[in-house]
């Protein structure tokens, strides 16, 4: 497994850690927070999705940990940390859109539950942040506040009621049936929860519940948490 980032090596950046379930707004909110702060943005879920895409492209059984590890050994991954120029590549292939396909979503939990893969990918995330050359990076995913960056000066669990999350995800995927989207979201949360608890805030993690907040209000709430941590 190899990696690259879109920025040059520099001083150690600040990490803003954001966790949360599917449909909570992690990606869009994290991108906007990164813009407001002048930070980079790292979508950690994209790495697991890209690996799932790679495994499927190799006709590997994503339910077989051995097959997943074999695919990971030849996984060349790159991701942009620019919130305004977001892309994901596997080798020379741009997979930015492909990793959002339903077949990849269905396979990603099998990939993500392999402990050795999670350990490798966690180190990949830390390297991407450390080598970014940016003043800070907003890192979002499932276990960022507890595993990837447990010492981050701002750690946030972004959540919302299940029905609100399903409605938001359905609005994003306009070509998909709303009921099917809700069921897929539920399955994804159930599968991922067997690997990591992303629905309960760990000690020191601030909960931002966006159930009754619009996008701008959610971004403001996250920025308030960052400001409270005296992060510059």
pTM: 0.84
Question: Residue 89 forms beta bridges with which residues?
Answer: 78, 94
Query: Is residue 91 part of an annotated ligand binding site?
Result: no
- The closest of 124, 100, 106 to 192, measured between CA atoms, is 106
What are the C-alpha distances in Å from 191 to residues 13, 73, 111, 169? Answer: 32, 24, 11, 17
129, two tokens: 């942040």
The pLDDT tens digits for 104-121 are 988 998 999 899 999 999
- Overall average pLDDT of the 141-163 stretch: 93
Alpha helices in the chain (DSSP H): 26-37, 45-57, 65-73, 102-112, 115-130, 162-172, 178-192, 215-228
Query: Is residue 102 part of an annotated ligand binding site?
Result: no
CA gap 40, 122 in Å, rounded: 17
Of residues 44 and 168, more confidently modeled? 44
Instruction: Tell me which fold the domain 2-228 belongs to.
Output: Rossmann fold (3.40.50)
- The residues spanned by each domain of the chain are 2-228
Contacts of residue 52, Cβ cutoff 8 Å, sequence gap at least 6: 62, 99, 104, 107, 108, 110, 111
Phi, psi of 159 (to 5 degrees): -140, 175
Given the DSSP bridges, would you call strands 76-79 and 88-90 parallel, antiparallel or unpaired?
Answer: antiparallel
Query: Is residue 22 part of an annotated ligand binding site?
Result: yes
> Within 13 Å, how many C-alpha atoms sit on residue 102's CB side?
13
Share above pLDDT 70 across residues of the chain, in percent, rounded to a whole number: 80
Query: Is residue 210 part of an annotated ligand binding site?
Result: no
Query: Is residue 45 part of an annotated ligand binding site?
Result: no
For residue 203, the model assigns a pLDDT of: 82
Query: Is residue 66 part of an annotated ligand binding site?
Result: no
Q: 55 near 68, Cβ under 8 Å?
A: yes
51: helix, strand or coil: helix
Share above pLDDT 90 across residues of the chain, in percent, rounded to a whole number: 66
CA gap 145, 139 in Å, rounded: 9
CA gap 60, 209 in Å, rounded: 38
Query: Which range among 2-6, 63-67, 113-117, 220-224 shows the weakest confidence by mean pLDDT?
Result: 2-6
Query: Is residue 25 part of an annotated ligand binding site?
Result: yes
- The closest of 138, 126, 136, 143 to 45, measured between CA atoms, is 143
CA gap 140, 81 in Å, rounded: 12
User: What are the respective helix, strand and coil percentages of the chain, to the nearest 5?
Assistant: 45, 15, 35
């Amino acid at each position: 497994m190899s990696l690259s980032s879109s920025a040059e090596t520099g001083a150690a950046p600040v990490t803003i850690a954001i966790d949360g379930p599917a449909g909570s707004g992690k990606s869009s909110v994290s991108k906007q927070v990164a813009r407001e702060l002048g930070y980079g943005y790292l979508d950690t879920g994209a790495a697991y999705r890209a690996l799932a895409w790679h495994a499927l492209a190799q006709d590997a059984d994503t339910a077989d940990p051995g097959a997943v590890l074999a695919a990971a050994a030849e996984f060349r991954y790159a991701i942009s940390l620019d919130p305004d120029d977001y892309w994901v590549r596997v080798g020379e292939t741009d997979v930015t859109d492909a990793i959002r396909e339903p077949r990849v979503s269905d396979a990603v939990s099998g990939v993500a539950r392999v402990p050795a893969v999670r350990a490798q990918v966690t180190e990949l995330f830390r390297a991407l942040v450390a080598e970014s050359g940016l003043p800070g990076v907003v890192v979002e995913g499932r276990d960022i506040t507890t595993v990837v960056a447990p010492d981050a000066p701002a750690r946030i669990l972004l959540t919302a009621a299940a029905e609100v999350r399903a409605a938001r995800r359905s609005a994003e995927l306009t070509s998909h049936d709303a009921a099917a989207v809700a069921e897929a979201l539920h399955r994804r949360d159930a599968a991922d929860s067997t690997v990591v608890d992303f629905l309960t805030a760990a000690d020191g993690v601030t909960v931002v519940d966006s159930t009754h907040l619009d996008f701008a209000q959610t971004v403001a709430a996250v920025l308030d948490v960052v400001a409270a941590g005296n992060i510059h």
